[in-house]
């Protein structure tokens, strides 16, 4: 199958060709005809499979030929969970609409709202937004959703994880009842299906691959190591292997900042990106990383989706995620669009249970490889949960010691603050 056979205009085909795409991916091949036919769609596909083009291309096709004066202020609304993903989706919209007479814009928090207000006042055909900032504009009456005839929820499972479900329902209530609804998600959980049932109208179900699998081009390796030596080993691996571009995941914002500082002291140019960083700082860090000016980018799970880095060779799980599915989302940053990539996990004895959950989800064991000089100390015992739910650590004598800073483990779960978007 080719893009030409899908009924797209010459202008769209030209833009697609300039992006280097010749054949649609499976999710594109199934979603584009369904969307062009006006059907609601519930699509599940792993990250890096071309979902953005899967909904953007047919949306653009549907907007062609509508006279400018007849267009409502906003005809298409694309909701994303994070700022980075919103910016990425908008860039894709702009690229695919390069030769079309269409206006698009993106709005998200963490930046001055006034330029967004001015842009919206000029009218846009396609609006990409995060839920929080979108509702800010609605409350200011700088945005009217009463003319939206196509709603897209991108990375819907992530939006539920981040607690946006009530915002989503409120946003839906502000739009016309008759509209096209498109829902794209990496996983098909019960919560996702419940949300889909609440507003999708007899949708076409597309399940290319769920979030339980990783891209075929990704090589997985686990390096057992003591927790206290993780940073030392990571810097050693980056230096000795001459890795030039490494995305490193931690569980917490504080941990990301600390690791970035320590790696910089090791002589590795490093930046951190997480929800507490200003949007300007996040944008600069990502741009520097893409240009190669920053060798290692340390991120929390806010970056697990929405970072589109071409040919990213290495993703490192400095700490395993608490939720197994997030492992798939993290490593989905490498091995994209048929490319090869390597997913490295530094696993201490406390993370054995988390590793087991990931292997159960993937239905296969991950290859272990001990790095010479960093062999785990067999006398170190794993942390154990105490009666109050906190963790304590068994020392070498077998006595139980309270964890030094249990507060550092708070907020490490799957839910994130809306402010992060």
Q: Which of 157, 177, 207 is the last residue of a domain?
A: 207
Q: What is the pLDDT of residue 336?
A: 57
Segments in 335-417 forming alpha helices (H): 352-362
The total number of structural domains in the chain stands at 2
Per residue in 382-397, pLDDT tens? 875 533 444 554 544 3
Reading the block at residue 147, the tokens are 């003319």
Strand 391-394 with 383-385, pairing: antiparallel
Q: What is the pLDDT of residue 136?
A: 96
Q: Is residue 414 part of a domain?
A: no
Q: Is residue 57 part of a domain?
A: yes
pTM above 0.85, yes or no: no
Q: Is residue 213 part of a domain?
A: no
Residues 109 and 148 in one domain: yes
Tokens 């993290």: give the residue.
330
Q: Is 139 helix (H, G, I), strand (E, B) or coil?
A: helix
Q: What is the pLDDT of residue 323?
A: 84
Rg (CA), the chain: 22
Give the Cα separation of 352 and 227 in Å (integer).
12
Residues 179 and 264 in one domain: no
Nearest to 174 by CA among 70, 38, 57, 79: 79
By residue range, what is the domain housing residue 240? 218-377
Task: Using 70 as the pLDDT threshold, list the residues of the chain that sit under it.
Answer: 46-48, 67-72, 209-216, 303-308, 335-339, 384-421
Residues 76 and 166 in one domain: yes
Q: Is residue 33 part of a domain?
A: yes
Residues 283 and 163 in one domain: no
Q: If residue 400 lies in a helix (H) or strand (E), which one and from where to where? A: strand 400-402
Give the Cα separation of 83 and 130 in Å (integer).
7
Indicate which CATH number applies to the domain containing 315: 3.40.50.300
Q: What is the pLDDT of residue 304?
A: 58
Residues 179 and 248 in one domain: no
Q: What is the pLDDT of residue 406?
A: 37
Tokens 């937004």: give the residue.
129
Residues 314 and 343 in one domain: yes
Residues 157 and 259 in one domain: no
Q: Is residue 62 part of a domain?
A: yes
Q: What is the pLDDT of residue 386?
A: 39
Q: If residue 394 lies in a helix (H) or strand (E), which one and from where to where? A: strand 391-394
Q: Is residue 235 part of a domain?
A: yes
Tokens 């030094």: give the residue.
404
Q: What is the pLDDT of residue 44?
A: 84
Q: What are phi and psi of 312, to 5 degrees?
A: -65, 120
Other C-beta atoms closer than 10 Å to the C-beta of 220 total: 18
Residues 33 and 152 in one domain: yes
In sequence order, what are the residues at sequence separation of 6 or more whose Cβ sits closer than 8 angstroms to the Cβ of residue 165? 159, 195
Q: What are the CA-CA distances from residue 138 to residues 107, 134, 142, 175, 316 (Å)? A: 12, 6, 6, 12, 40
Give the Cα separation of 324 and 333 in Å (integer).
16
Residues 284 and 369 in one domain: yes
Q: Is residue 349 part of a domain?
A: yes
Q: Is residue 23 part of a domain?
A: yes
Is the Cβ–Cβ distance between 53 and 61 less than 8 Å? no
Per residue in 53-80, pLDDT tens? 999 999 999 999 776 666 668 999 999 9
Give the Cα separation of 122 and 138 in Å (integer).
16
Residues 85 and 52 in one domain: yes
Is the Cβ–Cβ distance between 243 and 368 less than 8 Å? no
Tokens 């994209």: give the residue.
336
Residues 27 and 176 in one domain: yes
Q: Is 108 helix (H, G, I), strand (E, B) or coil?
A: coil
Tokens 């979902």: give the residue.
51
Q: If residue 271 lies in a helix (H) or strand (E), which one and from where to where? A: strand 270-273
Residues 168 and 313 in one domain: no
Polymer length in residues for the chain? 421
Lateral strand order in the sheet of 41-44: 104-107, 126-129, 76-79, 150-154, 180-185, 41-44, 204-207
């Amino acid at each position: 199958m080719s893009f030409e056979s899908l009924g797209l205009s010459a202008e769209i085909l030209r833009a697609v060709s300039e992006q280097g795409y010749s054949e649609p991916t499976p999710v594109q091949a199934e979603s584009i005809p369904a969307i062009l036919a006006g059907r609601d769609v519930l699509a599940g596909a792993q990250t890096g499979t071309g979902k953005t083009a899967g909904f953007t291309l047919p949306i653009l096709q549907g907007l062609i030929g509508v006279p400018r004066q007849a267009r409502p202020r906003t005809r298409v609304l694309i909701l994303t969970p994070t700022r980075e993903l919103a910016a990425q989706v908008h860039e894709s919209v702009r690229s695919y609409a390069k030769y079309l007479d269409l206006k698009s814009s993106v709005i998200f928090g963490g930046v001055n709202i006034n330029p967004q207000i001015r842009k919206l006042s000029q009218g846009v055909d396609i609006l990409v937004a995060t839920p929080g900032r979108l509702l800010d504009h609605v409350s200011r009456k700088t945005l009217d959703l009463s003319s939206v005839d196509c709603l897209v929820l991108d990375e819907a499972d992530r939006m539920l994880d981040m607690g946006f479900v009530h915002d989503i329902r409120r946003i839906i209530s502000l739009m016309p009842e008759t509209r096209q609804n498109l829902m794209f998600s990496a996983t098909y959980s019960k919560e996702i299906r419940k949300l889909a049932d609440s507003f999708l109208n007899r949708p076409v179900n597309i399940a290319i691959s769920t979030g339980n699998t990783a891209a075929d081009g990704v090589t997985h390796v686990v390096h057992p190591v003591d927790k206290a030596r993780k940073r030392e080993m990571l810097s050693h691996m980056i230096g000795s292997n001459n890795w030039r571009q490494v995305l490193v995941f931690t569980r917490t914002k504080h941990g990301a900042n600390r690791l970035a500082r320590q790696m910089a002291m090791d002589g590795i140019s490093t930046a951190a990106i997480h929800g507490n960083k200003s949007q300007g700082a996040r944008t600069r860090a990502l741009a520097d990383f893409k240009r190669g000016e920053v060798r290692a980018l340390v991120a929390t799970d806010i970056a697990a989706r929405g970072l589109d880095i071409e040919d990213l060779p290495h993703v490192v799980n400095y700490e395993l995620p608490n939720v197994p599915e997030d492992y798939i989302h993290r490593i989905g940053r490498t091995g994209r669009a048929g490319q090869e990539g390597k997913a490295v996990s530094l696993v201490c004895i406390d993370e054995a249970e988390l590793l087991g959950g990931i292997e159960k989800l993937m239905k296969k064991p991950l290859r272990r490889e001990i790095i010479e000089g960093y062999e785990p100390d067999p006398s170190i015992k794993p942390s154990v949960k105490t009666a109050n739910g906190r963790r304590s650590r068994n020392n070498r004598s077998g006595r139980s010691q309270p964890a030094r800073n249990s507060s550092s483990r708070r907020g490490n779960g799957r839910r994130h603050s809306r402010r992060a978007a």
